[in-house]
Chains A and B, each alone.
Chain A
C-alpha cells in the first residue's frame, strides 16, 4: 500500500498542498475581512448607537427637598448632606464577599447588613443600595483609595432629612422613609415615576406626606460619560433640578413646646387653633416619637419600641383618635336648645339629681342635684339633668342635624394625613353601623346619653377644637390648616394658604353671647376656676369627662379602677374671651376629671400664648433656640 515516490514528486506534491494551504488562508482571512466589513460598514450605525448608549448615561439629579419652619422661622425639618456607601448588586459577583471586604475598610454593623438586605428587596436589580450611611471623612478617604478593588461599589453624596425639634413635632411634620413598592405604585398612579428617579426617600407621615408634591421639587438630569462599571467619567450636559418648595407653618414652635411638655408623661392630645383663620397654633399628640429615627431606616429595636409600646406613640391622637366629648359637648347642646327654640337663657329647670326616662334613672354627678338650673348655671356647674331633659326635648334627629355643620363626625380637611371621622350618632348612623336589625334600632335612652356627650358620641380633639373655633368666631368655621405659606426657595415668592371659611353657621349673636358668657364663668367660679385662678386675661372654657368604662350600678371611684380604665379628661378653652385669638381642645387619656388634668394644660398654653409666660421649670425660648435661624 505504501506509495513510493521520487523526491521530486514529493516536493511537487508538497508545493501543491502549500498552494492549497495558501488559498485556504486567503479564503479564511477574506471571511474575516467580510465580517469586519459587515460590522464596520454595513452595521456601523447600529454599533455606533450601541457604543454611544454604553458610553452615555442619563443620571438623575434629585432636587433638594423643601424645608419646614414654624411661623417664626424655627426649623422643623431640613436637609444635610452625608456620604453613603452604596452597592449596585447587578454589578457585583459575590455580594457577601464584597460586603466582608468592605467591612475591613469601613465599619459595617449587623444593623447595616440587615438594613441592606431589607432595602434590596424594595430596590430594582440594577439600582444601588446603601450599605452604610453617614460615612466619616476618614472612611470616605479609605474607600476612595481602594475603590478600584470594588466593582459596583461607590460613595454617593446624599441628602438626608433632619428634624432638629425631635419628637416635639413628630406628629405634625411626620417623617421620610425609603420608597417602597407601595409608594412606587402610588407614584406610577400619579405619573411621577420619572420625577422620582434618583430619589430614594418619600414623605411617609405628617406634612412630609401630605405636602410631598410641594416639598419634593423637580428632578434634574446630567448626561454623563460612564465606564463599564457605571462610574461617572465626564459631564456632558446638565439640566438643573428645581428644589422643592419650603413650608412655613401656622404652628408656633414655642407654644408647641409648652403644650408638649405640659403633658409630661401622660397620654393625650391638644389642638390649638386661631379661630379667625383656622390656622393650627399647636398640635400635640402625647407621647410622640422622634422622626429622626426613621431617616435612614429605623432599627428593629426602635421600631419595636414604638410599635409595641402600650402608650402607642405612633398614634396621632389629635386627629385620629375619637373620644366621647363628655361635658365639653354641653355648650354645643346649649346652643342647639337656644337656636332651635327649645330653651331661652332665662328658662330654668328643677334638678332633683336625676332624670327619669323609660323607667331608668339617669344620674347627675351631684348627689341631690343642683336645684334650680338655668342655661348659664348648667354650663358653669356642668349640670347633667339640664341636658338629659334638653336632649329629650330636642330629639336625636334635631341634635344630629344641628351638630353636623360644626364638623362633628366628619373629617375637617386639615392638611395632615390620617384624619379620623369620629361618630356623630343618629338613627341613620346606627342603621349603617350595625348589621343586625335588633342593633339597628335607635332607643330614646341613647338620645339622653348623647345629650351629655356620652354614648356613641366620639370626636377627635381636632374636631372639638374646630367646632369651638366656629362658636367663638361668630359661627364662621374655617378649615383647620397647619401650613401658612408655601415658599419657592429660588425666588422667595410666598404663596399663602388662604384661610378657607367652610361655612357660616346661622347662629344668633345673643345665643352665642349667652353660651360664651357661661363658659367664661366656668373659669371664674365653675369647674375651671381652680385651673384659671388669677389669670390675667378672660378665658372661656368647659371641662369634660369621657367615660372609658361603664361601671353599672357601682359608684365610680378613681382609686378602685385600673389607670387605663379611668375616664378621659377633656378641656376646651378660648381666650381672650371678647376677641379670641386661640381656641383649643385638650384631652388627657385616663386623666379623670377634666378640671384636674386637662384644664391646667390649657392654662399653661394660654399663659404662654397671650402673655409669653413659661411654666416654671421650662427653658426659655433663647436657650433652646440654637437650632433657630
Chain B
C-alpha cells in the first residue's frame, strides 16, 4: 500500500470548495484592484497583497464549512455583535468624532463590520427555524432583530454602515416573502422622502435648520451632494474633483499611471472610497463599463446560487449577500460619480482596506459553501 498522494488530487482537494465562475470573476476584480492600487498608491501595494492573501484564505476556509454549520453560528455571532456594539457605546474609542472602535487589548476591532455578516446570517437562520410558518409575527420579530444593532450603529454615529447593515437585513426579509402590499408603501415613502429632500434641498440646507435625526456632518454630506459647489473646498471638493477625474477620463482613459487628477493629488482618498475615480480616469468609459460587467456577472452568479440553494436559510443568506455586494458597489460608484451622497462605503473588492476585503471575501466564501453543497447533493 502506498500513501503516495497524487499532486493532482491535492489540487483537486484544494479546489473542491471553490466555485470556478465565482472565483474567476473575483480573481479578475482582485487583479484589477492591484493594478489600480499601483497607480493610486504604490506604497500600499504590499499591504494590499497581504490583505488579498488573507481574505482569499478566509474565503477558502469559509467555503469549506458546511452551510448548516455556518447558519448555526448565526445566533452566537449576532449576540456577540450586539454585545460588542453596546461595549463600543460604553467604552469605545473616539476617532474623528465617532465612536466605532473597540480596543480588546489584542486588537482594535470595529464591531459594526462584524454585523454586516452576522445580520443576514441571523435573519436567515431565524426564518429557517420558522420555515413553513412565516407570518406577520415572524416579520415583526425580524424587524426588531434588525432594529437593535442598526440603532446602535446609527448612534455611533455611522450612517453609512448602519444603512448597509439595515439593507442586509431588509434583503433577507424581502427574500423571505414580505408581502408586496407592505413593500410597495415602504418604497413609496422612501422615494417620496428622498425626492422631497432633493426638491427642498435649498431650504433644508440653511445652516439654522436642525434635522433632528441626522447629525450635522450627515446633513452636510447630503447638502453637499445637492449642491457640491456650495462647499468647493470642503466635502464638495471630493465630489467635484472625482467627477472631474471620471469625466476627463473620456472614452478610453488617460492611460495607466497617467491620470493627472490622481497623480497630482486632486482625488481625495484615492486608494479607498474614491478609487473608482482613479480607475475611470485612467481607463475611461471602457474600463468603467468593463468593471460594471464583471460585477454584474458576479452578482448574477450569486443570484443563481441563491435560487438553487438547498435550504431556505441558505437561499435567503446567499440572496442577501449578493444584494449586499450590489449595494456596496452601487452606493460607492454612485457617490464617486456624484449621484449619491458621500457615505463611507468602499468599492467592493477594489478599495484598499483589510477589514472590508475580509468581510466581502467571507461573503464569497459563504456563497461557495452554499454552491458546493448543492453540487454535492446533486451528485
Chain A residues in contact with chain B, CB under 8 A?
Answer: 1-4, 7, 10-11, 13-15, 17-18, 21-22, 25-26, 28-29, 31-33, 35-37, 39-41, 43-44, 46-48, 50-52, 54-55, 90, 225-229, 233
Is B250 within 8 A of A48, CB to CB?
A: yes
User: Which chain B positions have C-beta within 8 A of A37?
Assistant: 285
Pairs across A and B, CB under 8 Å, 10 listed: A25-B296, A25-B330, A39-B243, A39-B247, A51-B245, A51-B261, A54-B244, A54-B260, A55-B264, A90-B233
Is B285 within 8 A of A40, CB to CB?
A: yes
A229 to B266, CA, bound (A): 8
Q: Residue B249 at the A interface, CB < 8 A?
A: yes
Which of chain B's residues 293-331 have a Cβ closer than 8 Å to chain A? 295-296, 299-300, 303, 306-307, 312, 315-316, 319, 322-323, 326, 329-330
Is B292 within 8 A of A29, CB to CB?
A: yes
Most buried by B among A10, A25, A31: A25
User: Which chain B positions have C-beta within 8 A of A48?
Assistant: 247-248, 250
A18 partner, pick from B248, B261, B288, B303, beta carbons under 8 A: B303
Is A29 within 8 A of B330, CB to CB?
A: yes
User: Shortest beta-carbon distance, A199 to chain B, in Å?
Assistant: 27
B306 partner, pick from A18, A25, A51, A226, beta carbons under 8 A: A18
Of the 9-residue stretches B8-16, B132-140, B220-228, which lies at the interface with chain A? B132-140
User: Which chain A positions have C-beta within 8 A of B250?
Assistant: 40-41, 44, 48
User: Which chain A positions have C-beta within 8 A of B241?
Assistant: 54, 228
User: Which chain A positions have C-beta within 8 A of B171?
Assistant: 21
Is B300 within 8 A of A22, CB to CB?
A: yes
User: Shortest beta-carbon distance, A236 to chain B, in Å?
Assistant: 12
Is B248 within 8 A of A51, CB to CB?
A: yes
User: Shortest beta-carbon distance, B229 to chain A, in Å?
Assistant: 12
User: Shortest beta-carbon distance, A16 to chain B, in Å?
Assistant: 10
User: Shortest beta-carbon distance, B246 to chain A, in Å?
Assistant: 5
In the complex where A18-B175, A40-B288 touch, is A50 in contact with B133 (Cβ < 8 A)? no
Is B292 within 8 A of A47, CB to CB?
A: no
Is B247 within 8 A of A32, CB to CB?
A: no
Interface on chain A toward B: helix, strand, loop, or mixed SS?
helix
A31 to B315, CA, bound (A): 27
Question: Which residue of chain A has its CB nearest to the CB of B333?
Answer: A32
User: Which chain A positions have C-beta within 8 A of B280?
Assistant: 36, 40
Which of chain B's residues 237-280 have a Cβ closer than 8 Å to chain A? 241, 243-251, 260-261, 264-266, 280
In the complex where A14-B319, A46-B247, A229-B265 touch, is A36 in contact with B285 (Cβ < 8 A)? yes
Is A18 within 8 A of B307, CB to CB?
A: yes
Interface size on B, residues (CB 8 A): 53
A35 partner, pick from B137, B265, B316, B337, beta carbons under 8 A: B337
Q: Residue B177 at the A interface, CB < 8 A?
A: yes
Is B323 within 8 A of A54, CB to CB?
A: no
Question: Which residue of chain B has its CB nearest to the CB of A50?
Answer: B244
Q: Residue B334 at the A interface, CB < 8 A?
A: yes
A32 to B300, CA, bound (A): 17
Question: Which residue of chain A has its CB nearest to the CB of B249?
Answer: A40
A28 partner, pick from B177, B249, B289, B330, beta carbons under 8 A: B330
A37 to B280, CA, bound (A): 11
Is A50 within 8 A of B247, CB to CB?
A: yes
User: Which chain B positions have C-beta within 8 A of A17?
Assistant: 174-175, 177, 319
Most buried by B among A11, A22, A90, A226: A22
User: Shortest beta-carbon distance, A177 to chain B, in Å?
Assistant: 31
Q: Residue B365 at the A interface, CB < 8 A?
A: no
Question: Which residue of chain B has its CB nearest to the CB of A26?
Answer: B296
User: Which chain B positions have C-beta within 8 A of A31?
Assistant: 339
User: Which chain A positions have C-beta within 8 A of B326?
Assistant: 25, 28
Is A225 within 8 A of B177, CB to CB?
A: no
A227 to B171, CA, bound (A): 43
Question: Which residue of chain B has its CB nearest to the CB of A227?
Answer: B264
A225 to B258, CA, bound (A): 13
A29 partner, pick from B261, B285, B295, B307, beta carbons under 8 A: B295
Q: Residue B169 at the A interface, CB < 8 A?
A: no
A424 to B364, CA, bound (A): 101
Question: Which residue of chain A has its CB nearest to the CB of B315?
Answer: A14
User: Shortest beta-carbon distance, A413 to chain B, in Å?
Assistant: 52
In the complex where A36-B337, A90-B233 touch, is A226 in contact with B264 (Cβ < 8 A)? yes
User: Which chain A positions have C-beta within 8 A of B312?
Assistant: 10
A26 to B303, CA, bound (A): 12
Is B251 within 8 A of A41, CB to CB?
A: yes
A416 to B251, CA, bound (A): 64
User: Shortest beta-carbon distance, A7 to chain B, in Å?
Assistant: 8
Is B175 within 8 A of A47, CB to CB?
A: no
Is A14 within 8 A of B307, CB to CB?
A: yes
Question: Which residue of chain B has its CB nearest to the CB of A22?
Answer: B303
Most buried by B among A2, A4, A37: A2
Closest 9 CB pairs of A and B: A47-B247, A2-B135, A51-B248, A39-B247, A227-B264, A228-B265, A40-B285, A47-B248, A228-B266
Is B265 within 8 A of A32, CB to CB?
A: no
Is B337 within 8 A of A32, CB to CB?
A: yes
B135 partner, pick from A1, A225, A226, A229, beta carbons under 8 A: A1
User: Shortest beta-carbon distance, A9 to chain B, in Å?
Assistant: 10
User: Which chain A positions have C-beta within 8 A of B137?
Assistant: 2
User: Which chain A positions have C-beta within 8 A of B296?
Assistant: 25-26, 29
A48 to B264, CA, bound (A): 15
B175 partner, pick from A14, A41, A43, A55, beta carbons under 8 A: A14
User: Which chain A positions have C-beta within 8 A of B251?
Assistant: 40-41, 44
User: Which chain B positions have C-beta within 8 A of A33?
Assistant: 288-289, 292
User: Which chain B positions have C-beta within 8 A of A41?
Assistant: 250-251, 285
Is A35 within 8 A of B244, CB to CB?
A: no
Question: Which residue of chain A has its CB nearest to the CB of B306?
Answer: A18
In the complex where A50-B244, A51-B248, A90-B233 touch, is A14 in contact with B289 (Cβ < 8 A)? no
A229 to B175, CA, bound (A): 49
Q: Residue B363 at the A interface, CB < 8 A?
A: no
User: Which chain B positions have C-beta within 8 A of A14?
Assistant: 175, 177, 306-307, 315-316, 319
Q: Residue B120 at the A interface, CB < 8 A?
A: no
In the complex where A22-B300, A227-B264 touch, is A15 in contact with B246 (Cβ < 8 A)? no
A10 to B319, CA, bound (A): 14
User: Which chain A positions have C-beta within 8 A of B292?
Assistant: 29, 32-33
Q: Residue B157 at the A interface, CB < 8 A?
A: no
User: Shortest beta-carbon distance, B262 to chain A, in Å?
Assistant: 10
User: Which chain B positions have C-beta within 8 A of A10?
Assistant: 177, 312
User: Which chain A positions have C-beta within 8 A of B346?
Assistant: none
User: Shortest beta-carbon distance, B358 to chain A, in Å?
Assistant: 24
Q: Residue B81 at the A interface, CB < 8 A?
A: no
Question: Which residue of chain B has its CB nearest to the CB of A3?
Answer: B135
Is A47 within 8 A of B300, CB to CB?
A: no
User: Which chain A positions have C-beta within 8 A of B299?
Assistant: 22, 25
User: Which chain A positions have C-beta within 8 A of B303?
Assistant: 18, 21-22
In the complex where A14-B177, A18-B319, A229-B265 touch, is A32 in contact with B330 (Cβ < 8 A)? yes
In the complex where A14-B307, A29-B330 touch, is A47 in contact with B243 (Cβ < 8 A)? yes
Q: Residue B284 at the A interface, CB < 8 A?
A: yes
A229 to B300, CA, bound (A): 43
* Besides A40-B246, A55-B260, 16 other A-B contacts (C-beta < 8 A): A2-B137, A4-B133, A14-B175, A21-B319, A25-B323, A32-B334, A32-B339, A33-B288, A35-B337, A36-B285, A36-B337, A37-B285, A48-B248, A54-B261, A55-B264, A226-B264
A15 to B288, CA, bound (A): 30
User: Which chain A positions have C-beta within 8 A of B300?
Assistant: 22
Most buried by A among B132, B247, B265, B300: B247
Is B175 within 8 A of A54, CB to CB?
A: no
B136 partner, pick from A1, A25, A36, A90, beta carbons under 8 A: A1
User: Which chain B positions have C-beta within 8 A of A46?
Assistant: 247
B264 partner, pick from A44, A50, A228, beta carbons under 8 A: A228
Question: Which residue of chain A has its CB nearest to the CB of B252?
Answer: A40
A552 to B306, CA, bound (A): 119
Is B177 within 8 A of A54, CB to CB?
A: no
A44 to B312, CA, bound (A): 48
